[in-house]
Amino acid sequence: MLLGCADLRCFAASAKPTRAGIAPEADPRAFLTAMNDSIERSRGLSADTTLCLLNGGAHSGAAQDARNRLGDIFNQLGSNVRIELPAGGGEIEAMAREAAQAGAKLVIAGGGDGTINAVANALAGTETALGVLPLGTLNHFAKDLGIPLDLETAASTALRGTVRRVDVGEVNGRVFINNSSIGLYPQMVREREALQEKGRGKWTAFAEALVDTLRRSPAIRVRLWTPERIVSSRTELVFVGNNEYELAMPRVAARLRLDGGMLWIWNVPRAGRFRAAWAAFRALFAAPRSATPFAFCTQELRVSLRRRSVDVAMDGEVLRLRTPLLYRSRPRALRVIVPAEGAG
């Protein structure tokens, strides 16, 4: 069951977009030119350079193996691609931004959705295209765009595919490509990360963190402001999707499109753990729309809480952000390489 947004688009299209805390761009052109020239000399970047960024911080051995495989694949494809293994999200984003500033036509990101998110933050709003190598566990962004999961085919797509403009979401100036949330999920991610630091395996840590979070995580009081409505509630979870998500099997958690220009909001009011789980179960198996947790679409959203800052999940990563949270959709802001029509 897909919860539609067409009835809100005409009204929301007239709303003035919120800048979501982004400072106006300064224009010290001489300084920026000199800085970019210095970066280009030190990094060896140019408009003709194809840069491939793999997350070297997550699993260094796996990243090095992927680097070796990709080196062979790119050579077989006859392409000169520079492969780098930055240590984490901040360095990944910085290198992608430097490439875009140097005029690169393409930056390829290899990793999970968190790695793709880091590069998207650098490339959104530029003319530099994003190539995707889905090397993560879930790879939601690649799947929703029809990008092959096989590494060799994905690499060929990144170099020889076609450009498609897709939306991104934004919260307090940070871009997300899939979704963002507050409440249960970011709390569970924090707990899972703590368990992994103690030596738990990924899926063991996930299961323990999920049970622990469901057992003792308190609800939060929020006020949601949009151009169409104001909602106050005690909630378990506020989920903000970059375009509409399906709630029914067999395409649960998938999106039919990434260029609808809308945010999809799913608010799960406080109803007790078992009632919340039952509501989610009914949503998954095509219960009537009135039986699902409160869901709607909008172009922008303000989330107010009785606290100065809150943990916010974005594409599987968690950041601490100041409140209020200012969300908006940025339609067609990101250029992504997808399979050419008829490919495959």
* Confidence at 72, pLDDT banded by 50, 70, 90: very high
Q: What is the pLDDT of residue 5?
A: 53
Average pLDDT over the chain reads: 80
- Give 2 or 327, the one with higher predicted confidence: 327
Q: Is the pLDDT of residue 17 over 70?
A: no
Cα angle vertex 145, ends 142, 147, to 5°? Answer: 55
Residue 167: which pLDDT band, with cuts at 50, 70 and 90?
Answer: very high
As given in the structure block, the two tokens for residue 325 are: 């949270």
Task: Give the pLDDT confidence score for residue 198 in this predicted structure.
Answer: 76
- Mean pLDDT for 237-264 is 87
Listed range (18-27, 44-53, 153-162, 304-313) with the worst mean pLDDT: 18-27
Q: Which residue has the higher pLDDT, 274 or 341?
A: 341
Q: Quick one: pLDDT at residue 217? A: 67
Q: Give me the amino acid identity at 243.
A: N
**Global pTM value:** 0.80
Of residues 264 and 39, more confidently modeled: 264
Please give the residue that has the higher pLDDT: either 136 or 293: 136
Q: Please enumerate in sequence order all residues whose Cβ is within 8 A of that of 65, keeping only pairs 6 or more positions apart, or say none.
A: none
Spatial CA neighbour of 267 closest among 286, 280, 256, 278: 280
Percent of the chain with pLDDT over 70: 71
Task: List the chain domain ranges.
Answer: 45-160, 179-332
Asked, colleague to colleague, whether 45-160 and 179-332 share their fold, the answer is no
Reply yes or no on whether the pLDDT at 203 is more than 90: no
Q: Which pLDDT does position 262 carry in this prediction?
A: 97
| 271-291 confidence digits (pLDDT tens) | 655 555 555 554 444 444 444
Assigned fold of 179-332: Tumour Suppressor Smad4 (2.60.200)
Poorest-confidence range of 80-84, 111-115, 291-295? Answer: 291-295
CB distance 266 to 295 below 8 Å = yes
Q: Which range among 10-14, 131-135, 214-218, 324-328 shows the weakest confidence by mean pLDDT?
A: 10-14
Asked whether residue 218 carries a pLDDT value surpassing 90, the answer given is no
Q: And the tokens for 35?
A: 């800085």
CATH level 2 (architecture), domain 45-160: 3-Layer(aba) Sandwich (3.40)
Which tokens sit at 111? 């990793």
Mean pLDDT of 183-205: 74
pLDDT at 42: 37
pLDDT of residue 295: 86
Mean pLDDT of 31-36: 42
Q: Give the model's pLDDT for residue 291.
A: 41
Q: Within its chain, how far is the Cα of 319 from the centroid?
A: 13
Between 13 and 78, the more confident residue is 78
pLDDT, greater one: 259 or 204? 259
Tell me the percentage of the chain whose pLDDT exceeds 90.
54
Q: What is the mean pLDDT of residues 192-220?
A: 71
Q: How far is Cα of residue 326 from the mean position of the Cα atoms in its chain?
A: 16
E strand residue ranges, the chain: 50-54, 81-84, 106-111, 129-134, 162-171, 174-176, 179-183, 220-225, 230-242, 263-269, 294-298, 300-305, 309-314, 317-322, 325-338
